[in-house]
Amino acid sequence: MLLWLTHTTGIRVTELALLEVADVLYPSGAIKPEVYLRAGITKGCRPRNVYLTHTRCLAALDAWFDVRTRRCRGLSDADEYRGLRPGSKLVMTHKGQAFELACKHRELDSGPEVYQACDALQQTITRLYRQAGIKQGSSHSGRRSLAAKVLAATGDAETVQAILGHACLDRSKP
């Protein structure tokens, strides 16, 4: 499910770690085809939409919700949201907890920058790639792959920029 989400939506790992069940599901339990990523969870606080339309991604999400229900992870007493708590994180650790974010610092030409990163989820995704025999796979591979596919199909770098949520067109070229 993690790889399908990153490859078909271009979502960043930290954004994925911060998504909640209610961001992805309607109260009826149906998966939203368009998911709004709030400014508070996106890099650079630039809100954008991602689209859950790929059939295999949808099947993987359905399977993930079934796993969560069987493991009693983030359940509520209500039938809404497939019986899951709407404010619980979409992605959880194997212990049923939200992934922790680390506060990081880096120096840029424009000055120091403070940002959040979800190292444990990044490591999980990298491990999934290695288990699949892809040694160079990383948490960013899905975004790069999606960008290359969209650019090849449309030839439009602005579309890639919008999908990936980049502020600058220079960052949208694979």
Q: Tens-of-pLDDT digits for all 174 residues of the chain?
A: 999 999 999 999 999 999 999 999 999 999 999 999 999 999 888 899 999 999 999 999 999 999 999 999 999 999 999 999 999 999 999 999 999 999 998 888 888 988 889 999 999 999 999 999 988 888 888 888 888 898 899 988 888 888 888 877 665 455
Please name which of 111, 60, 116 lies closest in space to residue 90, comparing C-alpha atoms. 60
Distance CA 144, CA 129 (A): 14
101: in domain: yes
Range of the domain at 42: 2-139
In a domain, 149, yes or no: no
Contacts for 33 with CB less than 8 Å, ≥ 6 apart:
51, 52, 53
Q: What is the DSSP string of 14-66?
A: HHHHH-BHHHHB-TTSPBPSEEEE-GGGSGGG--EEEE---HHHHHHHHHHHH
**124 domain residue, yes or no:** yes
- Enclosing H/E stretch for 115: strand 111-117
Backbone angles phi, psi at 146, to 5 degrees: -60, -45
Count how many domains the chain has: 1
In the 8-state DSSP scheme, what is residue 164? H
The whole-angstrom separation of Cα 60 and Cα 2 is 9
